[in-house]
A and B are shown apart, each in its own frame.
Chain A
């Protein structure tokens, strides 16, 4: 039996157990409903016309209430206890899977304790569901007895609470989720005991599958990656750990222990995006992005200079021309987008690739990425709806609630229309570029990148002087915003005769970097980093040096020129942050 068959066998056994438990509860609720309707007809005074008679005392209702409590206990709660007792079969199912996978396994006292704790908690939660239903029926009974009511209406009310109603629906969901929860907890714990920290997200994709599950089914994740998913939000997500709750309420998927080397090509089917009907855009990642700062503390000014240099090195594409660099990126990202098989991307590339008729699908994807990168090189927004659409996509994909939305109303309205059509593709493209950037910058050993930025205009900060070169300032960015790791690039921009100007200096956490020239958007000769706006409102504090009307003063007067410029700037930054 190969591993795929082993997992399928486990799923089959768990499915049978789930169905059995749901059937057990469903039957018990139907029986409960019949019993209490019979008892109502017997114990409550029914007039010839079929109405419950209004009564002066509540004694018949009280008697009936007592019998309701008894019925709930003997019929419904008893079935719930039997369903939860069935959880102990899970141990055998896991044993079988681990044996098949040749993973050592033994159950301990701690496992027994976990079972007992979950067993009690689950029975309590079934009892709570039962009590809610019981209280609703009791209340309805007292009302009916006090003021009189049609018996048929009373029965309808009972039915809406029990079989086919609230109790059956919630008990069925609880039967599913509690068993899957127990199974997953035990499975994950036993995998941890065997030093396995990679898991396969297993299960079929059906029409109602959540986008979260569709994107992950058939793929292997490390424990760390699964824990990162806790910070995301999506429709139907259950509170708590993704490792335990998977896609959320009533999720049919499960984590199975796996060693990556076990998976031979083609042995586990990697699920693809279905052609239609899955709104990927429902998945709203809310992983917390770090804050831009004026710079973490370092030992010497030289450390800051070195940090600028290694940040600039990381933005350098090596011994290829800028054109070849972008072509390679377009090919790589294009292939990735193509492999995702997202129908929305196919629509997007028809509109934005500019490819001639007859061009292969793969080439169209590469052409589309190439166009998007050029689009950024042309403008970050301006009055151009396609560019603003990408800004809106970044805002939504990364949850950048604190970013500036400043564009002209007409262009923004057009961009919003475009965004409505292309949200899925635009967001997915940015996410893939972001993922590449994160991998690349982490490989470079960078946790933050040191950047500068030129600015033309009044910052509201006093003119810098040799005694007071640098101040602090609070800034806000648009969803995608440009910085440079080359201080001279910033200076060369911040020179406009008779205008106020400034240079900002900041330290950017890597998880705020969307791209750099080596991974997507960004001009190599300007050592550009494209930085994501903030998830928090209120702005972020960075350092700034300001000049009033540069014609009367100049950056050279303040910081010197040539290599002196960088050295003096970093000394000033060091002075401001130490």
Chain B
């Protein structure tokens, strides 16, 4: 049976990011900077848009 790679796209690999577990405000900016990420990059991540869709952010 051929194996399906269930993590091989961003949405599925980050499926558990439905709740918002990150800082907000300035602390978020610092966190993103530390991890080489811009706010635009962040907004494309399930960790940002899934909680918004579920009204958890």
* A contact residues vs B (CB 8 Å cutoff): 322, 352, 354, 371, 374-375, 377-387, 404, 406, 453-457, 459-460, 472-478, 481-484, 489, 492-493, 504, 522-523, 525-526, 528, 538-541
- Closest 9 CB pairs between A and B? A539-B3, A478-B7, A377-B21, A482-B16, A406-B8, A474-B1, A354-B34, A474-B3, A404-B5
In the complex, the answer to whether A477 meets B18 with C-beta atoms within 8 Å is no
Interface check B4, CB cutoff 8 A: yes
Residue among A377, A382, A504, A539 making CB contact with B22, cutoff 8 Å: A377
Taking a contact as CB atoms under 8 Å apart, the answer to whether A382 and B4 are in contact is: no
Residue among B23, B34, B45, B50 with the highest chain A CB neighbour number at 10 A: B34
Pairwise interchain contact B2-A474, C-beta atoms closer than 8 A:
yes
B30 to chain A minimum Cβ distance, whole angstroms, is 6
Determine whether the beta carbon of A528 is less than 8 Å from that of B16: yes
Q: Can you sample 18 A-B contacts with CB below 8 Å?
A: A377-B47, A378-B45, A379-B14, A380-B7, A380-B14, A381-B13, A383-B41, A404-B7, A406-B8, A455-B12, A456-B15, A474-B1, A475-B6, A476-B5, A476-B6, A481-B7, A492-B18, A493-B15
Write out the residue numbers on chain B whose beta carbons fall within 8 Å of the beta carbon of A352: 34
Give Cα distance in the complex from A522 to B17, angstroms: 9
A454-B15, A523-B17 as given contacts; A477 in contact with B7, CB under 8 Å: yes
Q: Does any Cβ of A come within 8 Å of B54's Cβ?
A: yes
Q: How large is the interface on B (under 10, 10 to 19, 20 to 34, 35 or more residues)?
A: 35 or more
Q: A381 vs B9: C-alpha distance in the bound complex, in angstroms?
A: 10
Q: Do A475 and B47 touch across chains, with their CB atoms under 8 A apart?
A: no
Main secondary structure on A side of the interface with B: mixed
The CA of A377 and the CA of B12, in the complex, are separated in Å by: 14
Bound: A541/B2 CA distance, A: 10
Which A residues lie within 8 Å of B31 (CB)?
354, 371, 374, 378
Could you tell me if B22 and A492 are in contact, using CB atoms closer than 8 angstroms?
A: no
Residues of A within 8 A of B16 (CB): 482-484, 489, 493, 522-523, 526, 528
Which residues of A are found within 8 Å of B10, using beta-carbon distances? 379, 381-382
A374, B21: Cα distance in complex, Å: 8
Q: Are A382 and B35 in contact (CB under 8 A)?
A: no
Q: Which residues of A contact B15 (CB under 8 A)?
A: 453-456, 482, 493
Are A371 and B34 within 8 A (Cβ)?
yes
- For the complex, give the distance between the alpha carbons of A269 and B54 in Å: 55
Q: Does B37 contact A (CB under 8 A)?
A: yes
Minimal beta-carbon separation of A357 from chain B (angstroms)? 14
- Residue in contact with B21 in the complex, picked from A322, A484, A541, CB distance below 8 Å: A322
